[in-house]
Structure 1
Amino acid sequence: MSGTCMRVAAIVLAAGASSRTAPTHKLLAPDATGLPMIACTLRAVAASRADPLVIVFGHRSTEIHAAALRGIPPERAHLCLSARNHGTGLSRTLAAGIQAAGQHDVAGALICLGDMPRITTALLDRMIAVFIASPDRPGVMPIHDGRRGNPILWNRTLFPALMDQKGDKGARALLQQYGADMLRVEASAETVEDFDTPARLVDFSRLYTGG
């Protein structure tokens, strides 16, 4: 398949319970403009060249779905689904997204976390371009200051293994297995930051994430 016609899906995982920030769900927390975190993340992903765009919900799916739509332009095609076994761990949410993306003619998939509101479209497009230039590699990972970040782009050949992961560690075991052979892209701090505590949500509420 030529590089000009290769597609890479984006899978946004938004099914977690956000127990560390309870009673506030971090994906519903607003930035300084009032835009929910999940919408901030999706605004960047929806503007990228990734296709198709798959969003996986679970906990409080109705509320988070409504918030997510605020970050997606009406003309941007996307697929929303609910991970039936999301309560058993991140791996089941990941499997649901991979299964949906795998039904399309894609060479790989970007696995994006819903709580990455400062991720940029430019980084996502750069990761896709790097992968398309070397589609025989297991994937692409962003690196900031020597640390691996998110999102991770996975080759389609690893979709079966991604769907077979267990527990709440996502694809961590596969990263240990294939990490040395993955392509690397230098990235900024937003690829390694998190908003997993009430204090960090306060920080987020002061951020302007708009372009």
Structure 2
Amino acid sequence: MADIAALILAGGASSRFGGCKLLAEIDGRNLLQRSIELASGVLPGHVHVVTGAWHPQLMAAKAEGRLCGAEFIHAADWSEGMAASLRAGINNLTADYSAVLVLLADQVALTRADLDALLKAFDGHNIACGVYGRRRGVPAIFPRSSFPRLRQLGGDQGAKAVLYESTIPVRECSMPNAQRDIDTPEQLGAWQGSGAV
């Protein structure tokens, strides 16, 4: 699987959280490091994080050793929305990958089994994506043939546009865990209180 890059999108401002949720700690690790370790479990040595609003804070955390195991890509135009992070990620990969696994840093309930299911559903040419809340979404694997379309995305238009408009075959994986994300301190507290850490 070494020709697949993991691309963790972590460029948003976390406006509803009131701070940098990416560095909020859960069970001794911050949210972003948990995502890096999850992705590293299936694609070791090929994990990339796209930063944006909190880039200085994340680089400081990296220097302190609180973030490790990933290459960091800064989306300077992060304020445009998720499309900017996707474009920056695709355009600045450190190697000539044949596909990308796109994840969101705050999908706290994702498991290794979820990512393994996506990799199993990916045949090298199709798109494999999670389905939750009756909708397609990320995490998803996009083959190189879809990179030009990902680069065309604009505004806060995320990868879902490609999941629904693509002429490339899409294989769906039921993934209810992907529906759980962290947007507020209250959601973080509820997750920690659930014992699911």
Question: TM-score scaled to structure 1, two decimals?
Answer: 0.80
- Aligned pair 1:35/2:24, yes or no? no
Aligned length: 195
Any idea what the Cα deviations from partners look like across 1:146-202, whole Å, max 9, x if unmatched? 443421111111111101110012123222212893011233x32111211332122
> SS of the counterpart of 1:9?
strand
1:11 counterpart (7, 10, 14): 7
**What is the CA-CA distance between 1:18 and the residue it aligns to?**
0.5
Corresponding residue for 1:148? 136
Corresponding residue for 1:200? 187
Q: Percent same amino acid among aligned pairs?
A: 27
Question: TM-score scaled to structure 2, two decimals?
Answer: 0.85
Shift in alpha-carbon separation, 1:109–1:11, aligned structure 2, 3 A: same
Corresponding residue for 1:128? 119
Cα distance in 1 for partners of 2:9, 2:83 equals 10
Structure with greater strand share of residues: 2
**Structure 2 gap segments, 5+ residues each:** none
**What is the CA-CA distance between 1:96 and the residue it aligns to?**
0.6
User: Is the 8 Å Cα contact of residues 110 and 154 (structure 1) preserved in structure 2?
Assistant: yes
Any idea what the Cα deviations from partners look like across 1:34-92, whole Å, max 9, x if unmatched? 321111111111111366211111112132245566464xxx5x321211111121111
Which amino acid is the alignment partner of residue 172 of structure 2?
A: R
**Structure 1 gap segments, 5+ residues each:** none
- Aligned pair 1:190/2:177, yes or no? yes
Higher relative contact order, structure no. (Cα contacts within 8 Å, ≥ 6 residues apart): 1
User: Is the 8 Å Cα contact of residues 38 and 117 (structure 1) preserved in structure 2?
Assistant: no
Which amino acid is the alignment partner of residue 126 of structure 1?
A: A
Q: CA RMSD in A?
A: 2.5
Matches within 5 A, 1:101-180: 101=93, 104-131=95-122, 134-137=123-126, 139-144=127-132, 146-178=134-166
